[in-house]
Amino acid sequence: MTDQTALFEYLLRLGDNTLVLGHRVSEWCGHAPVLEEDIALANTALDLIGQTQMWLGLAGEVEGAGRSADDLAMLRDVWDFRNLLLVEQPNGDFGQTLMRQCLFDAFHFELLTGLTHASDDRIAAIAAKALKEVTYHLDRSSETVIGLGDGTEESHRRMQAALDLLWPYVGEMFTPDAVDDAMHAAGIAPDLIAMRARYDARLKTILSEATLTKPDSSYAQSGGKTGFRHTEHLGHMLTQMQWLQRAYPGATW
């Protein structure tokens, strides 16, 4: 029998990753460098928020405390969030945003592919639906990283700087803990160690085509997916994301 507490925590991780990244990407709405990118980023954000609704909705169902997806998104504080540190990092310039997206998309693609085979049919169904969207996300973000990395001298410099800045947050995605181990043992989650090999192979190809150099460091920031430690950026983001619900509790429209 699946440990329901671990399952709830795992579903929070899935939903919080897409919620936080979805909000981050939405911050580009009306500010992207060209109209086509503005629309593409807005659509990516909508996809991620839609996935959040499914993951957090299921989390509330598993918890059994009467909390909805909206409650879990808008009424928790920083220390209750279980997202990866990578997705809460600020947008920076356009190149940094797309590098963050690509690093996460490559992970997200492998994770969802594994989750489509989950022993829990509800999780497998959500993963299958999300995977269709994330396949497009990965194609787009990787192509953009390649185009900018192998573009002008300035775009190459910015993309390398973005990779160097964000690389320390990659390791957390593949560092299993008790929740990951419990979900893998229950036949729900894929093996993160095996996933890392596929991720590295894919990333090697992308970075090679982008003429970018992977940082020679194995150091990994941690604490986000356990809630033990978040960066200061998440708190600032939540004050914007949650302010309406906080100011007018129970408001509907």
The tens digit of pLDDT for each residue in 170-223 reads 999 999 999 999 999 999 999 999 999 999 999 999 999 999 999 999 999 999
> Residue 250 has what pLDDT?
86
> Residue 251 has what pLDDT?
84
Q: Which of 75-79, 128-132, 164-168, 249-253 has the lowest mean pLDDT?
A: 249-253
Question: Cα–Cα distance between 236 and 119 in angstroms, integer?
Answer: 37
Q: pLDDT tens, 7-61?
A: 999 999 999 999 999 999 999 999 999 988 999 999 999 999 999 999 999 999 9
> Residue 1 has what pLDDT?
54
Q: Where are the beta strands (DSSP E) in the chain?
A: none
CA distances from 97 to 27, 141, 167 (A): 11, 9, 13
Q: pLDDT tens, 131-167?
A: 999 999 999 999 999 999 999 999 999 999 999 999 9
Which candidate, 32, 224, 214, 237, places its Cα nearest to that of 106? Answer: 214
Which candidate, 231, 227, 189, 138, places its Cα nearest to that of 7? Answer: 189
Which candidate, 187, 159, 1, 140, places its Cα nearest to that of 95? Answer: 159
pTM above 0.85? yes
Question: Cα–Cα distance between 93 and 162 in angstroms, integer?
Answer: 9
Q: What is the set of domains in the chain, with CATH numbers?
A: 4-247 (1.20.1260.10)
Q: pLDDT tens, 93-116?
A: 999 999 999 999 999 999 999 999
Question: Cα–Cα distance between 213 and 215 in angstroms, integer?
Answer: 6
